Amino acid sequence: KYISRAIARRSATICNALEKYNKMAPLQIPPRPILNYAEVVGYATLGEFTLLKYSCHDLLAKPWAVPETREMSAKYFKLVRSHEEITRLNVEIGHLDAWVEYDDKKMLEVIKMLVADDPPSLLAAELRKQYSVHHRINNAHHCRLHKIRQLKGYSGPIPVMQHDFAEEGQDDEGSGDPEENDELGDKASCLEDTISCIR
């Protein structure tokens, strides 16, 4: 109830201001365009609110006073920002790639160290299970990063060591796609860990 009253009051205020403006607009030198209520209510920013600009005659001669020029400027700066974003993403792709490699290698090193110290280690078996899951996830990341690098407009560095997705995907999951057969891979890993603990 209160909201509808406030909206009605504001609408009435805008209508009164618009009515006064429309009476004075043709008398200006040069004459100003007549505005309707729907057009004024549709203005999203103060930059589009033409009424404010008419208070100073010199401003209307400026290039940024033309709506088309403002729109083109906004699009230009969005394009500039997008190029900056591409540069930043090229760096992020390299960081993610390096982290995925490090994660795989570090986990394997820890597993080998535990097995060397205590061959029937339950901790090593648990880490193998964790590694199996992490390795599949990391393969999915490698696959996506590889697809990004194959895109037509990719401008980042290509790594010297290319990851072999097909072989690892087949070894781990029985399929070339590292994102498929997760449940089967988990069961195989569980079975392998159980057998290694029994020995």
Tokens of 101: 């490699």
Residues 47-64: what's their mean pLDDT? 60
Tokens of 68: 């088309």
Tell me the pLDDT of the chain averaged across its residues. 74
Q: Name the pTM for this structure.
A: 0.48
Task: Identify the residue whose tokens are 């209520």.
Answer: 37
Tokens of 65: 């006073």
| CB burial readout 120-154, b (16+ within 10 A) else e | ebeebbebbbebbeebbebbbbbbebeeeeeeeee
Does the pLDDT of residue 197 top 70, yes or no? no
Phi and psi angles of residue 156, each rounded to the nearest 5 degrees, phi first: -85, 175
> Which of 51, 62, 3 has its CA nearest to residue 28?
51
Does the pLDDT of residue 76 top 90, yes or no? yes
Task: Report DSSP state, residue 19.
Answer: H
Tokens of 162: 């290319």
pLDDT tens column, 107-154:
999 888 888 888 778 888 888 899 999 899 989 988 898 888 888 888
pLDDT tens column, 83-114:
899 989 988 998 998 898 898 899 999 888 88
Domain ranges in the chain?
Answer: 2-62, 73-198
* Non-local CB neighbours of 43 within 8 Å, separated by 6+ positions: 49
Q: Are 135 and 69 in contact (CB under 8 A)?
A: no
Tokens of 80: 């500039």
Per mean pLDDT, which of 36-45, 112-121, 140-149, 167-176 is the most reliable?
140-149
